[in-house]
Structure formats: structure tokens, C-alpha cells
Structure 1
């Protein structure tokens, strides 16, 4: 894999850390800025909504800009938003910086997804995406727990500064390694924006975006509410929460790595094997959650299966959106973040039911079951073979 791909992954690592780190910082932020924890929670929603809405909007605006300059601008804007957030004493300003950071993240990821696949031959697109998305999985392993520790020791502002500083080597790498003068489309004279947006009317693309969103919703629905399961149902101490998060992140890294080697040649195999196992895994986690050893083992396995399946579906989004070379990355980004936004909201509705803290795990199982039921009639399309006639 080319060096620029790994430099892009460093930026994705910084952005992934920022996206998930607020879960452990909200009480301190609320106390420091004199707002309620519920109000501080709006910072998470602002980032997620900014990602969903910003991906296609920013990608459309940047589609004719030079790729290196565009990626550099987004990384620097992301760093600047965190620097401002680190020094402000106003919740309104901090909220605004989260929106700006989300837009920069969405724009960067939309262009980076396209850039990553342009750096390698067509038959290695899946592996290239695995390298890029590994930045997110490493963020869950190291960035988020590290940010939580840093915030506990030095305060939440130190975590914001750390994310800003982490962007600088990524920016330098982009400046030195990404070719200059190449438009985000990779070439001049590409399809007009209207033609690229028209790709969204194609049933195969809609299908894989929907499936990717559902799997990601299942993933983040349980991931968001994993802490109460660890300390409540399993009866472990608070220090085991970062251990569980690291195990989930390690599993996700393993899943992305393995799927990256298979999704180009055998996407159908990943979906046919990983899908049913993921479906069984979420209810199994709920049933065995009172056994700490079983819970921690299943957290690792579910992280691996979730990201293997999710990354393969996102690779299929880029394949199906080949007719939209400058917008394909934004379609994949939107699908990912629609799932990341909807999953925790759906999971939260189960917490007041008889299932209690285990409700999100059952909800994730339901979301995966829905995914498989929708996918089954179109398995030939998802396997990369001849498209089913009904999808044409």
C-alpha cells in the first residue's frame, strides 16, 4: 500500500478520536461551562448531524478543487476548530466548533475515500479502504481511551489540544505525499454534478447504502451503551470500561484488516459468513452478559464482525457509485453516519423497557436481522456478480 494512504489514515485516526471522545468528557465540559450534562450531550448530536449533512454538501463544493489542497484545508480547519474549542469559555462557541469540525471531517473523509481508491489498482480498492478505515478502529483502541485518561488527568481542554496537534503531522504528510494539481475527481472533464447526484436513484446504490447504515446503527447502538452492561450486568468495576472499549476496538481493527483482504475478491463470502454470525452474536452477548469472561470475549468478536461486515458494505457503496467519482465518498460517509446517528437513538428507546441495560444489545440484533432480510433477495448483487434484474 502506498505511503499517502497511511498518512490519510493518521488524519482519520485524529478525527475518529474526536468523534467518539466526548462520551467520557461530557460531565467535565458541563461543569466547566455551567450547563447540564444533557445540554452538553448536544455536542455529540451536532457532530453527527454535521457529518451526515456535510458529506454530500462539502463534497459537491470541493469536487473540482485540487485534491491535495482540499485534504490539507479540511485537516487544518479541523485542527483550528479544536484549538478554538480548547480555549473558549462559551458553550455556544464550543457547539459551533463541533459543527465546523464535523463539516471538515465529512469533507475530508468524502475526498479521502475517493483518493484512497485512486491510489491503488481497481482490484485492491477494498484493501485500500481497510487501511484508511483502520484509522477509525485504532481511534477506538487507543485514541478514545487515551483521550479519556488525558481528560481525567489534565482536563477536557487538554484532549482538544491533543487532537489539534495530532492533525499537524497528517497535514505535513498530505502536503509532501499527495500529488498536486489533481482534482478531486482524479481527472478533468468528469461527469457533471447532476449526473453524479442522479446515481442516487439507482436501486443497487440505495440498497448498499441502506445496508451499510443498518449495520453501523447496530454497531454504534451497542457500543454507545456498553459501559452500563460492563458495570451493571457483568458487575465489573469502572476501570473495566476502557478495557471493554479497547477490546471492541481491537476486534474492529482485526475485522477491517481481514475483510480488506477479502472484500475485493470475495465480498459475498464476508457477507454470507459474517452476517449470520453477527446476528447470533448480539443476542448471545445479551444472554451471557452476566459472565464477565464471556462478555469481554464477545465484545471483541462483535467488534470484529461488525467492522468486517460494515467495511465490506461501504466498499460496495463505492463500487456501485463508480459513476459518481467525486461524490461516491460522500455517499459512503453519509451512510456510515446515518447509522452512527440512528443507532444510539434506537438503542436508547430500549433502556426503559424490561430489557434494561441489555436493551441496546437486543436492538442491535434486530437491526442486523433487518439487514439480512433486506439483503437476501439481492445476494448476487452484493456478491459483486451480475446484478439482479429487479435492481436495474
Structure 2
């Protein structure tokens, strides 16, 4: 499952490191190419809301394998895409996998390991996120200059095929459970702490991806690195993700709510810091490493809040959270692209910063995120 997460993250956000060559090859603007992330988010939203109901009728192993097969198919179509419309269609197919797999991941982990090991298991799962963030962007940028952006997506195909076989052979049977009506997913929003949590999730991820999606255009316009330097900068961003994931996994049992409030605020400050330091290669490298550390810690904190705050409805809660995250990514990338095309890259970063500050304000001291059951198990509650 961790390998599948790594492949999903690499597939979903590979256009970030290949944004300009994709746009140039398919006769699109950078802002339009950024919508390749938005379209996968749109389909992920719809899928994440529906998959808990559908998946409850089947063996979970079969569902996860089917979703992985869809990812494999989307990679092939992306690599062959003759025009922008085909690329967007393939990205939509990838969005189905993203929404389905992420919606089921927390609930699946909760079925695979003892309750006491869930935070560690989620940390392992998100190491796939960190690994993809560390390697996908710099490798995509470098290999894109060597074998072209299509060759980069072809290179992911055998890994996805291997992971499909590995999942089928390694995951145990996870028999179907009692049906989960689709209304259960949306009904969770009637719980005040869940509604506040989803608002915090959307503002946090929307702010982060309004910036993250357009890091390459920022670097090319402000820092002007050569190809090896660009790859090194993206590598610094990604490798720092390991530190962020590890630190967050260790800290969430005692500082969950402080982290939910503090991480978006710190990320906002670092985002703004990129603007005045953009012309200095070494300063940008250091700042991007800090940015990557903070950004990678965010999914770990929210997944642990989900395991605590919606422990009685993990699949419905997982679907709702993934819908919120993907909708935020879609809107954040769309906002960033609009500001980039019509104002400037500085406006893009300012927009992302504003959303991150609002996220911190929404979380507050964390009391509004604590429901009647299950969310009081952390020291800073």
C-alpha cells in the first residue's frame, strides 16, 4: 500500500515538475497545464464520496487492486496523449484511483493493524508520500530533459504493474462489510467538529497546492537555474519530506492540535519568504527544504485526526476527507493558475499564503476539532 501511495503521488503531481514542457508540447499555457492536476482532483472528489458505499460490497483487496489497475491504464494513456484533451481525460481516470484509494486507506490500515499501532502504520503509509515527493519531482525534471515528459510517464508503467501484482499477492482477504449508505458520508458534516475539520483541511491543502503546483514556473522566472540545479532544488524539497513525515509521526500523539494549527501558519510564512529570496540559489534551496518539511507533515496530522475524530465511521470519514482534500487541490491549483496567467507568480504565492492563514484561524486552539468521542486522546487536547 505504501508503494501504491508513492506511485499515486508521483503520478498525480508529476506535471508540477514537467509543467512547462507539457504546456509547450500540447500548445497550452502554464496555467492550463496546471489544470491537469485540477481535473484529477475533480474526479477524485466524486469517487471518494461514492467509493465507501461501493467498496463495502466487495472484498477490499479486489477493490484496491482494481483501483491500481486504473492507475496503470491512465499512465499509458498520458504517455500516448496526442493532445491536451486526451491528457485531461487520462488525468480524470487517474483521479478515480486517487479518490478511491485514499478514501479507503485509513480504514484499511485500521483493519490491518492493532489499534495501538494505527499512528505508526499511517506514518509508514505516508512514507510513500514522502518518497514520491523526494524523488518524483527532481527525477521528473531531470529525466524530462533527457527522455522527454512522455518517457517519464512510460517509466512509471512497469512500477505500477509490479505494484498491482504485489498488492494482489500480499494483501490478505478483507471481506465485505455491512453496506455504508452514501448519505452517511455527507451526514458526517452534521457533526460540528467534522464540519470544522473539513474546513481546516480544505483551506490547508488549497493554500499549499496553490503554491506547490507552480513552483517550477517560479524557479524558472526568479531563480533561473539550469537543469541540474532545478533538479537539485526539487530534490531538496522532496528529501525534506522524509524529515517532516518522521517528525510528524513522532509528535502527533502529544501535539496533534498544536500541529494542525501551527503547520499552515509556518508554511504561509515560508511561502512568503520564497519571494524576496527567489534570486539567490542557495537561499531558495534552504527555503524549499523547510517548505517541504512542513508540507509533508500536514497529511500525517490530518489522517491521525481522522482516525481519532471519526473512529466510528472510518470509511465514510475517509471518503469525506479525501473529497475535501481533492476539492481543495483542484480549487487551489485553479486559483494559482488564474493568478499566474492574469497577475503574477507573486500573486499566486500570496493567494496560497492567505488560504493557509485562514486554515490556522479555522483550527484555532483545537477545541472545535474535538467531538464527543475519540478525539481527546492527545496531550494538547
Normalising by the smaller structure, the TM-score range is 0.7 to 0.9
CA contact (8 A) 1:252 1:308 kept: yes
Q: Does 335-344 or 280-289 show the bigger shift?
A: 280-289
Take 2:317 and 2:272, find their aligned partners in 1: how far apart are those partners?
34
- 2:189, 2:195 within 8 Å by CA — same for their partners in 1? yes
CA contact (8 A) 1:197 1:324 kept: no
Could you say which residue in structure 1 is the equivalent of 2:286?
Answer: 297
Instruction: Tell me how far apart the structure 2 counterparts of residues 328 and 95 of structure 1 sit (CA, whole Å).
Output: 28
CA contact (8 A) 1:43 1:98 kept: yes
2:56 corresponds to 1:63: yes
Contact 1:212–1:310, Cα closer than 8 Å, also in 2: no
Counterparts of 2:18 and 2:322, CA distance in 1:
25
Once the two structures are TM-superposed, the CA of residue 161 in structure 1 deviates from its matched residue by: 2.2
Distance in 1 of aligned mates of 2:257 and 2:212: 26
1:47-62 matches, within 5 Å, as 47-62=40-55
Residue of 343, 363, 366 corresponding to 1:375 = 363
Following TM superposition, by how much is the alpha carbon of 1:176 offset from its aligned partner in structure 2, in angstroms?
1.9
Structure 2 alignment gaps of length 5 or more: none
Deviation at 1:113, TM superposition (A): 2.7
- Secondary structure (helix, strand or coil) at the match of 1:75 reads helix
CA distance in 2, matches of 1:298, 1:135: 23
Query: Retained in 2: the 8 A contact 1:218–1:343?
Result: yes
Does the CA contact (< 8 Å) of 2:106 and 2:318 recur in 1? yes
Alignment correspondent of 2:91: 98
Q: CA deviation at 1:313?
A: 2.2
Aligned to 1:136: 129
Structure 1 length-normalised TM: 0.83
Report the Cα offset of residue 205 of structure 1.
1.1
Superposed CA RMSD in Å reads 3.0
How many Å separate the matches in 2 of 1:179 and 1:386? 30
In the alignment, the residues of structure 2 paired with residue 62 and residue 153 of structure 1 have an alpha-carbon distance, to the nearest angstrom, of 41
Match of 1:332 in 2: 321
CA distance in 1, matches of 2:19, 2:278: 26
Q: Alignment partner for residue 144 of structure 2, among 137, 146, 151?
A: 151
CA change 1:217–1:241 in 2 (3 A) is farther
| Structure 2 counterparts to residues 122-271 of structure 1, below 5 A | 122-183=115-176, 188-189=177-178, 192-234=181-223, 236-271=225-260
Shift, 1:66, TM fit: 0.5
Tell me the equivalent position of 2:303.
Answer: 314
Structure number with the bigger relative contact order (C-alpha 8 A, sep ≥ 6) is 2
- C-alpha displacement of 1:96: 2.5
- 2:274 corresponds, among 268, 285, 288, to 285
